[in-house]
Structure 1
Amino acid sequence: MQRHEVCSRYLFAPSIVLGLTVALSVAATATEPPITAVTFTPDGQAVVAVSQAGMQVCSWPDLKRQRTSKASVPNLHCAAFSPDGQHLAIGGGYPAEDGSVELRSWPAGTPTAKLGDHDDSVRAVVWLDSSRLLSASADRQIRLWDMKTPRELVRVLQSHSRSVDALCLLEDGKTLVSAGVDQSVRVWDLETGALVRSMNQHTQGVHDLALRPGEGGLPMVASAAGDRTIRFWQPTIGRMVRYVRLDAMPMDIAWRSDGSQIVAACADGRIRVVDPEEVKVTETLDAIDGWAYAVAVHPHQNRVVVGGSDGQLKKVTIRSAGNADISVR
Structure 2
Amino acid sequence: MAPNYPKQILTTLKGHKGPVNDVCYNKSGQYCLSAGRDRSIRLWNPETGLLIHTYNGHGRDVLGLAVSNDNGKIVSGGVDRTVLLWDVSSGEILRRFTAHWERVNSVAFNDESTVVVSGSFDATIRLWDLRSMNFQPIQVIEDCKDSVMSVEVKGPEIVAGCADGKLRTYDIRMGELKEDYIGPAITSARLSKDNNCILVSSLDDTMRLMDKSNGKLLNEFKGGHKHKEYKLASILSNSDAVAITGSEDGKIFVYDVLEGDVLSTLEGHKGVSSALAYHPENDAMLSGGSDGLIHIWG
- The alignment's TM-score, normalised by the length of structure 2, stands at 0.86
Map of 1:267 onto structure 2 = 248
Give 5+ residue unaligned stretches, structure 1.
1-30, 318-329
Map of 2:120 onto structure 1 = 137
Letter in 2 for 1:41: N
C-alpha deviation, 1:214, in angstroms:
3.4
1:167-193 deviations in Å (ceiling 9; x for gaps): 1224xx222221121111112221355
Map of 2:222 onto structure 1 = 245
C-alpha deviation, 1:72, in angstroms:
3.3
1:85 aligns with 2:66: no
Map of 2:45 onto structure 1 = 59
C-alpha deviation, 1:246, in angstroms:
3.6
Equivalence map 1:302-321=2 (5 Å): 302-317=283-298
Equivalents in 2 of 1:132, 1:73: separation in Å? 23
Residue 310 of structure 1 aligns to a residue in which SS?
coil
Q: 1:213 aligns with which of 181, 193, 206?
A: 193
Residues 275 and 281 of structure 1 are in contact (CA less than 8 Å); yes or no, is this contact kept in structure 2?
yes
C-alpha deviation, 1:73, in angstroms:
4.8
Letter in 2 for 1:225: S
Residue 165 of structure 2 aligns to a residue in which SS?
coil
Q: 2:88 aligns with which of 94, 106, 113?
A: 106
Residue 47 of structure 2 aligns to a residue in which SS?
coil
1:65-91 deviations in Å (ceiling 9; x for gaps): 333232235211011011222211011
Equivalents in 2 of 1:237, 1:154: separation in Å? 29
Residues 38 and 47 of structure 1 are in contact (CA less than 8 Å); yes or no, is this contact kept in structure 2?
yes
Equivalents in 2 of 1:235, 1:214: separation in Å? 11
Q: 1:276 aligns with which of 250, 257, 261?
A: 257
Letter in 2 for 1:151: N
C-alpha deviation, 1:264, in angstroms:
1.1
Greater share of helix: 1
Cα 1:193/1:120, change in 2 over 3 Å = farther
C-alpha deviation, 1:232, in angstroms:
0.8
Letter in 2 for 1:157: I
1:140-195 deviations in Å (ceiling 9; x for gaps): 0000111123435211111111100011224xx2222211211111122213555x
Measured on the aligned residues, the alpha-carbon RMSD in Å equals 1.9
Equivalents in 2 of 1:247, 1:169: separation in Å? 29
Give 5+ residue unaligned stretches, structure 2.
1-15
Residues 225 and 246 of structure 2 are in contact (CA less than 8 Å); yes or no, is this contact kept in structure 1?
no
Letter in 2 for 1:268: D
Q: 1:157 aligns with which of 141, 147, 162?
A: 141
Equivalents in 2 of 1:177, 1:235: separation in Å? 10
Equivalents in 2 of 1:76, 1:257: separation in Å? 27
Equivalents in 2 of 1:228, 1:51: separation in Å? 24
Residue 291 of structure 2 aligns to a residue in which SS?
helix
Q: 2:98 aligns with which of 116, 120, 128?
A: 116
Residues 251 and 266 of structure 2 are in contact (CA less than 8 Å); yes or no, is this contact kept in structure 1?
yes
Decide which structure has the larger Cα Rg and report it: 1
C-alpha deviation, 1:304, in angstroms:
1.3
Letter in 2 for 1:69: Y
Q: Greater relative contact order (Cα 8 A, min sep 6): structure 1 or 2?
A: 2
Of all paired residues, the percent bearing the same amino acid is 21
Q: Which moved more, 1:67-76 or 1:116-125?
A: 67-76
Tell me the number of residue pairs that the alignment of Structure 1 and Structure 2 aligns.
Answer: 276
- The alignment's TM-score, normalised by the length of structure 1, stands at 0.79
Cα 1:246/1:224, change in 2 over 3 Å = farther
C-alpha deviation, 1:92, in angstroms:
0.6
C-alpha deviation, 1:284, in angstroms:
0.8
Cα 1:109/1:236, change in 2 over 3 Å = farther
Cα 1:73/1:255, change in 2 over 3 Å = farther
